[in-house]
């Protein structure tokens, strides 16, 4: 099977950002072991930004906050990081290849298929792709910002059998261990729901950017893609082999959903960035949730954002909770004039559906 394994900044660099070669060698040894056991493996690594900072002397109170300096630092760090990966894989007789991805590579469907083609070819050639976000030039507004989401998208893109998110805790815990010493590991999650998302809370460490919230979000995407996720400690010996073998207690396992979404709906639901939000009334919300129908202008009560026809938007209920996502057939300004109007009252030539059911993904 294809295993996508992601490791975070705080696991591969020290407090100043210097690359922890031993940590990367350990990660790579685990990946090489999976390959030797017959699996295809893909690494997703963070650490480019952090690794660039000490080289530039930008540590301690000189640490920059502005996006441009951080992006510039990634250009310095990424090459160094990749050098360590290449050497570590070579020690196992394995060739690695760098792939840097940006959100648009997933948001434009032709580009998405192209990225998939390249990654598949690398695997056929026996190469281990080592993926990071293209931090140096990614548009700051639409950057992924965290590699958990990127890893989830890659697992979905490749139809992976397993996504492993390595972190500096044992997995998802019942509480924040810094606040509650009795916090214990949640070993299995059948379905990611709002309660779990609330438990996972906010962002992570000072140097990494993900935290548990982004891991839970990535696992949710993987679950809808039919991919099992294991969230586990990067420092646990044999963690990757145990995650593949399904050893109990290896970390938190998030089970895949039985009915996985078709590829195009997954792409709409998780890969395309939303350009706005369409708020609907309760009747429309229930119809969309229960009956696999299209969203009509009559059910729309408000439109946030400016977007053109064919853009992806989130669909929220009367209380603002987002429950679906879809591609709109009308742009935001036209939609504002159509909101609340019944089909019979629509001006001639305007589309009858705001979001056609084939372009709608309901994610309760
Ligand atoms: N892509 C960023 C880097 O390599 C890190 C993103 C993250 O923290 O997940 O530095």
Answer yes or no: are the C-beta atoms of 84 and 20 closer than 8 Å: no
Give the SS3 label for residue 296.
Answer: coil
Q: Is the CB of 134 under 6 A from ligand 1?
A: no
pLDDT the model gives residue 205:
46
The helix-helix angle for 67-90 and 21-36 (nearest 10°) equals 50
**Domain count of the chain?**
2
- Residues 148 and 288 both lie in one domain: no
Which one of 51, 70, 74, 102 would you pick to mutate in the ligand 1 pocket, going by the greatest count of ligand atoms within 8 A of its CB? 74
Q: Are 306 and 196 in a shared domain?
A: no
Tokens matching residue 274: 């939303």
pTM for the full predicted model: 0.87
Q: Give the span between the Cα atoms of 64 and 58, in whole angstroms.
A: 7
- Whether 124 and 84 map to the same domain: the answer is yes
Note the pLDDT tens digit of each residue in 340-354.
Answer: 999 999 998 889 999
Ligand 1: does its nearest atom lie under 6 Å from the Cβ of 229? no
Q: 207 pLDDT exceeds 50?
A: no
Q: Do both 159 and 101 map to the same domain? A: yes
Q: Is the CB of 146 under 6 A from ligand 1?
A: yes
Task: Specify the residue with its C-alpha closest to ligand 1, atom 2.
Answer: 46
Say if 280 falls within a structural domain: yes
Question: Domain check: are 194 and 166 in the same one?
Answer: yes
DSSP class of residue 340 equals: T
How many Å lie between the centroid of ligand 1 and the Cα of residue 208? 7
User: Does residue 129 surpass a pLDDT of 60?
Assistant: yes
What's the pLDDT tens digit per position in 14-39? 999 999 999 999 999 999 999 999 99
Ligand 1 atom nearest the C-alpha of 214 is: 9
Residues 40 and 13 reside in one and the same domain: yes
* Domain of 41, in residue numbers: 2-264
Helices (H), 158-262: 194-200, 211-224, 239-245
**Residue 292 counted as domain residue:** yes
- Name the residue with the closest Cα to ligand 1, atom 7: 146
CA-CA distance, 218 to 150, in Å (whole number)? 8
β-pairing, 128-133 vs 40-45, is parallel
Does 315 fall in a domain? yes
Last residue of a domain, one of 207, 238, 264: 264
Spatial CA neighbour of 303 closest among 355, 356, 240: 355
CATH number at residue 176: 3.40.1160.10
Residue 58 within any structural domain of the chain: yes
Residue 259 belongs to a domain: yes
Tokens of 195: 């309660």
Ramachandran quadrant class, 41 (left: phi over 0; alpha: psi -120 to 50; beta: rest): beta
- Assess whether 40 and 164 both reside in one domain: yes
Please provide residue 5's backbone torsions phi and psi, each rounded to the nearest 5 degrees: -120, 130
| Residue 269 belongs to a domain | no
Ligand 1 atom, smallest distance to 209 CA? 8
Find the 123 Cα to ligand 1 centroid distance in Å. 23
Residues 317 and 242 in one domain: no
Span 295-304, average pLDDT: 96
Give the residue, 314 or 193, on which the prediction is more confident: 314
Is the beta carbon of 74 within 6 A of some atom in ligand 1?
yes
Whether residues 155 and 285 fall in one domain: no
Of the three residues 264, 297, 319, the one that is the final residue of a domain is 264
Question: The domain that contains 312 carries what CATH number?
Answer: 2.30.130.10
Element (H, E) at 42: strand 40-45
Q: Which residue has the higher pLDDT, 177 or 10?
A: 10
132 inside domain: yes
What is the sign, positive or negative, of the torsion defined by CA atoms of 287, 292, 296, 301?
Answer: positive
**What whole-number distance in Å separates Cα of residue 135 and Cα of residue 287?**
41
pLDDT in tens, 132-171: 999 998 876 667 768 998 999 999 999 999 999 999 889 9
Residue 9 domain flag: yes
Q: Are residues 74 and 106 in the same domain?
A: yes
Ligand 1 neighbour 78 (Cβ under 6 A): no
Same domain, 91 and 233: yes
Q: 245 and 289: one domain? A: no
The 10s digit of each residue's pLDDT in 212-242 is: 888 998 999 899 999 999 999 999 999 999 9
Question: What does the pLDDT read at residue 202?
Answer: 53
Domain end (from 217, 239, 264): 264
Residue pair 165/215 in contact (Cβ under 8 Å)? The answer is yes
Pocket test for ligand 1, best of 7, 19, 47, 64 (most atoms within 8 A of CB): 47
CA-to-CA distance for 305 and 83, rounded, in angstroms?
A: 43
Residue found under tokens 């690594």: 45
Please tell me the distance from the alpha carbon of residue 199 to that of residue 254, in angstroms, as a whole number. Answer: 15
In angstroms, what is the C-alpha Rg of the chain?
Answer: 22
């Amino acid at each position: 099977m294809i295993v996508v394994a992601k490791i975070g900044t705080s696991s591969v660099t020290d407090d100043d950002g210097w690359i922890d070669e031993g940590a990367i060698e350990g990660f790579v040894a685990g990946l090489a072991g999976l390959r030797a056991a017959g699996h295809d493996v893909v690494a997703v690594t963070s650490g480019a930004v952090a690794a660039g900072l000490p080289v530039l002397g930008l540590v301690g109170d000189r640490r920059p906050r502005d996006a441009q300096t951080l992006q510039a630092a990634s250009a310095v760090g990424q090459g160094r990081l990749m050098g360590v990966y290449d050497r570590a894989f070579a020690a196992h007789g394995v060739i690695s290849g760098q792939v840097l991805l940006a959100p648009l590579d997933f948001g434009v469907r032709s580009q998405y298929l192209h990225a998939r083609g390249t990654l598949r070819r690398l695997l056929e050639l026996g190469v281990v792709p080592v993926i990071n976000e293209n931090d140096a030039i990614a548009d700051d507004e639409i950057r992924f910002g965290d590699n958990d989401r990127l890893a989830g998208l890659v697992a979905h893109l490749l139809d992976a059998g397993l996504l492993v998110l390595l972190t500096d805790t044992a997995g998802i815990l019942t509480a924040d261990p810094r606040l509650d010493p009795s916090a214990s590991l949640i070993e299995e999650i059948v379905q990611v729901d709002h309660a779990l998302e609330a438990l996972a809370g906010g962002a992570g460490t000072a140097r990494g950017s993900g935290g548990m919230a982004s891991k839970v979000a990535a696992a949710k995407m993987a679950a809808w893609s039919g991919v099992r996720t294991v969230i586990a400690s990067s420092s646990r010996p044999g963690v990757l082999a145990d995650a593949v073998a399904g050893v109990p207690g290896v970390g938190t396992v998030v089970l895949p959903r039985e009915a996985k979404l078709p590829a195009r709906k997954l792409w709409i639901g998780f890969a395309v960035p939303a350009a706005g939000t369409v708020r609907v009334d309760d009747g429309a919300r229930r119809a969309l949730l229960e009956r696999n129908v299209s969203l009509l202008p009559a059910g729309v009560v408000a439109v946030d954002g400016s977007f053109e026809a064919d853009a992806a938007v989130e669909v929220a209920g009367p209380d603002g909770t987002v429950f679906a996502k879809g591609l709109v057939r009308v742009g935001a300004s036209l939609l504002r004039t159509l909101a609340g109007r019944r089909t019979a009252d629509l001006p001639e030539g305007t589309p009858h559906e705001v979001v056609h059911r084939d372009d709608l993904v309901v994610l309760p």
